Structure 1
Amino acid sequence: MSERVLIPRNRGFLFLDSHPAGCERLVADMWRDCPEPADPAAPAELPDGEGPVALIIGSSAGYGLAAAVAGLKRAGIRGVLVSFEKAPTGRRTGTAGWYRTAATAELARAAGRDLVFLNGDAFSDAMKDQVADLIEQRFGGRLGHLVYSVAAPRRTDPDTGTTYASVLKPIGRTDRTRTLVFDDQGRPEVREVETAPAEGDDIEQTVAVMGGADWERWIDHLAGRGLLGEGFTTAALSYIGSPLTAAIYRQGTIGAAKAHLEATARTLDERLGKAVGGRAVTSVNGAAVTQSSTAVPGIALYTGLLRGVLGAGMVPPVHQLAALWDQLTGAAPLVLDDEGRVRLDGWELADGVQAAVGERWAAATTDTVAELADLDWFHAEVQRLYGFAVPGVDYTAPVATDVPWPSPAS
């Protein structure tokens, strides 16, 4: 294996390389921090070949990764995890998700759970066939749970061959907001950014990528193969967020896609209830620093200010997904809002929290932001997305970068 010392090199919030040891430690820390189930021995005592059969689509980053770790520890899941990552090459490391997947596979092995990790295009019918074959041949032909957590810039429709591209734009008017950036030395700056409104078919393209079409296609594909177990539950992970970011997010093109996702959930919920006594929901999660969220104008500033208000009171993704697994598996009641959504964002959208963040938002400038936001935390969180700034990792030591993808062998 090739070994080298890796240092963080980035362009804004995008890093050129990822650190394998940092990614491994990050996943191990998520496992440590995930709450134990009510009966901590229950998942560990599941014999081979038993336990909930789950499919997680988009399992290598953000809330999808949290779903994988929490599903293992909280529910003892087995099954299939799908992501789309780049392998290490001689010139570049693998993507952070490549290394996080390898670390998750080690967790599953240590826990004695049978998880198969697939790398490829989740939008394709070829991947859907591969997953369906595995569920049929390896996991008894009955799927208990599906978590859908896909954030992608493009999607190709398998029927038409048309490729759609998502955009981050407001609807109806130009949006001006402030955002947080860091220079090469890590110094913060608050800048005003302007985003032109959606035009042409921007909304339709974004909905085609980020809405519920592919989620429904997965359900149709698996149902067509007779693979949905009695009481099957599925959740698509979503976000609403603050009024401070609504113009570019919930009221923008991405918001239109989220609305389509929620409408899809209601349609699927009715269908699954009749077919297998099942449920379909969207899970609205709270704010977190993810590779997807840092691309949204204003979200970096908002998240830093939110941390400044809440400190350790921010609820990490793995805690939220532990709560979701409890509801999906019946360990806790399924609690929905009026729109049929599981709400895991109450801590973020509480009136007092939003009022305090709003005051800081109004006062935030380059000169004042260090007093109002937790910039050290935010800057470190961005680096940790790529395996850097993880406590306990020696970044002066050479590290093997040629880490293999987990083998699907039993």
Structure 2
Amino acid sequence: MSERVIAPKNRGFLFLDSHPGGCRQLVDEMWQAVPAPVTGGGDGPVALIIGSSAGYGLAATIAGLARAGVRGIGVCFEKSPARRTGTAGWYRTAATAQLARQHGRDMVFLNGDAFSDAMKEQVAGLLAERFGGRLDFLVYSVAAPRRTDPDTGDVYASVLKPVGSPHATKTLVFDEHGVPEVKEVTIAPAEGDDIEQTVAVMGGTDWERWVTFLADRSLLADGFTTAALSYIGSPLTAAIYRQGTIGTAKGHLEATARTLDELLGKSLGGRAVTSVNAAAVTQSSTAIPGIALYVGLLRGVLGSAMVAPIHQLVELWDQLTGVRPLDLDAEGRVRLDTWELAPAAQSAVTQRWSTATSETITELADLDWFSEEIRRLYGFSVPGVDYTAAIEIDVPWPTPTV
């Protein structure tokens, strides 16, 4: 037994420990927020969620299980408990697996490098042995700092940089006492092969490799549909995001979708799309300069009208499974971000951004909400959890039932 009281300790937006009970309660909250399933009895469709433990990938997993009645495989990369607690994704995965079992969903979770062919082989084996040799859906939601090419062994590293020239932007930080500060930072532009490296990690190369790997083994069902999760965002963040290195990678992801859509349509009557999701507080998004400030201001403008990731992914699953028509823009993308980019919302956020300073930020942004959302990423500030009580941190990775 490894019980102890876990207090939140952080360096900026990064917390050193995670709370198992808070992570479990958070997963339960997300499951409870999903409308009743639309499937009848019997086995549901088989789905593979790559990047299943955090952010939009976690939302895709829970919405798929609770709304679409999927079964299948989730792939993620998390650290087990040791001297410190396990990562939040470790505990969220254990909680998701428990809820899946309680609701009769056969969901297997694999922990390892999703970029590797060894993981692809493991997934292929499970699909063949446990899930009837067919895959109906693949959701790709991977945000990673680096990727090893399985063919060459080359290691690529992604960077968050503007393209062409330096970019000055406002950003939100909190000092050691939790006092918010609005600072201006200047980010140097991409140089050398920064763009190519970022595209190699965050573009569509690995997504396409997953699809072709499974197709070559005849594991894709007729009508197979795949979606990769993407983001466009506001003009306020465009220089560092959509027009920067990461945006170039997202453009590659969307071009890959068009290529895969044509191939799958011809071979299986299937589809490939990107899903453009909206702004949210995630462990990945808080690393991007300016995003924390933007999201806090967006919440200040919209309040509870912001659409949480779990509700966005319910909408995506409804479209993927035919509950609602697949609604694509001119680029073949599902758009779940229209509420964020509505002209009235963007105008109000832009006005607040222009006047945001350390002195005015608490009046313009919902920083209490933002701070709570950061803490919830690690299982803290979740209602109904006794943070003064000792809790077991040595939670095992979920093993599938026979």
TM-score (norm 1): 0.97
Matches within 5 A, 1:134-145: 134-145=126-137
Matches within 5 A, 1:358-397: 358-397=350-389
| Distance of 1:355 and 1:386 partners within structure 2 | 32
| Distance of 2:66 and 2:73 partners within structure 1 | 16
Query: Counterpart in 1 of 2:18?
Result: 18
Residue 334 (structure 1) aligned with residue 329 (structure 2) = no
Identity over aligned pairs, percent: 74
Residue 263 (structure 1) aligned with residue 255 (structure 2) = yes
1:172-206 residue CA offsets vs partner (Å, 9 max, x unmatched): 01010011111222111101111000000000000
1:43-94 residue CA offsets vs partner (Å, 9 max, x unmatched): xx523xx1110000000000000001100111000000000000000x1000
1:296-319 residue CA offsets vs partner (Å, 9 max, x unmatched): 000000000000000000000000
Query: Counterpart in 2 of 1:114?
Result: 106
- Quick check: 1:58–1:81 contact (8 Å CA) kept in 2? yes
Matches within 5 A, 1:186-205: 186-205=178-197
1:279-306 residue CA offsets vs partner (Å, 9 max, x unmatched): 0000000000000000000000000000
* Residue from 396, 399, 406 that aligns with 2:391: 399
CA shift at 1:34, angstroms?
1.8
Query: Counterpart in 2 of 1:123?
Result: 115
* Residue from 70, 75, 85 that aligns with 1:77: 70
Query: Counterpart in 2 of 1:350?
Result: 342
Residue 218 (structure 1) aligned with residue 201 (structure 2) = no
CA shift at 1:273, angstroms?
0.1
The residue type equivalent to 2:15 in the other structure is: F
| Distance of 1:195 and 1:185 partners within structure 2 | 26
- Quick check: 1:46–1:76 contact (8 Å CA) kept in 2? no
1:75 is paired with a residue of what secondary structure?
A: coil
2:274 is paired with a residue of what secondary structure?
A: strand
Query: Counterpart in 1 of 2:41?
Result: 46
CA shift at 1:276, angstroms?
0.3
The residue type equivalent to 1:370 in the other structure is: T
Query: Counterpart in 1 of 2:3?
Result: 3
Query: Counterpart in 1 of 2:57?
Result: 64
CA shift at 1:272, angstroms?
0.1
Query: Counterpart in 2 of 1:30?
Result: 30
Runs of 4+ in 1 over 4 A off after TM superposition: none
- Quick check: 1:307–1:373 contact (8 Å CA) kept in 2? yes
1:327-369 residue CA offsets vs partner (Å, 9 max, x unmatched): 1111111110000000000000000000000000001000000
- Quick check: 1:177–1:192 contact (8 Å CA) kept in 2? yes
| Distance of 1:250 and 1:192 partners within structure 2 | 20
The residue type equivalent to 1:333 in the other structure is: P
2:182 is paired with a residue of what secondary structure?
A: strand
| Distance of 2:293 and 2:64 partners within structure 1 | 31
Query: Counterpart in 2 of 1:409?
Result: 401
| Distance of 1:409 and 1:73 partners within structure 2 | 19
2:25 is paired with a residue of what secondary structure?
A: helix
Q: Could you tell me which runs of 5 or more consecutive residues in structure 1 were left unpaired when the two chains were aligned.
A: none
The residue type equivalent to 2:53 in the other structure is: S
- Quick check: 1:144–1:233 contact (8 Å CA) kept in 2? yes
The residue type equivalent to 2:356 in the other structure is: A
| Distance of 1:391 and 1:182 partners within structure 2 | 23
| Distance of 1:328 and 1:228 partners within structure 2 | 16
- Quick check: 1:283–1:343 contact (8 Å CA) kept in 2? yes
| Distance of 1:185 and 1:20 partners within structure 2 | 25
| Distance of 1:34 and 1:96 partners within structure 2 | 21
Matches within 5 A, 1:150-229: 150-229=142-221
1:236-270 residue CA offsets vs partner (Å, 9 max, x unmatched): 00000000000000000000000000000000000
| Distance of 2:349 and 2:211 partners within structure 1 | 39
Number of aligned residue pairs: give it.
402
2:160 is paired with a residue of what secondary structure?
A: coil
| Distance of 1:33 and 1:355 partners within structure 2 | 30
| Distance of 2:390 and 2:181 partners within structure 1 | 33
- The CA RMSD over aligned residues, in Å, is 0.7
The residue type equivalent to 2:235 in the other structure is: P
| Distance of 1:181 and 1:394 partners within structure 2 | 28
- Quick check: 1:210–1:254 contact (8 Å CA) kept in 2? yes
| Distance of 1:101 and 1:21 partners within structure 2 | 12
1:207 is paired with a residue of what secondary structure?
A: helix
| Distance of 1:179 and 1:154 partners within structure 2 | 24
Q: Could you tell me which runs of 5 or more consecutive residues in structure 2 were left unpaired when the two chains were aligned.
A: none
CA shift at 1:36, angstroms?
2.7
TM-score (norm 2): 0.99
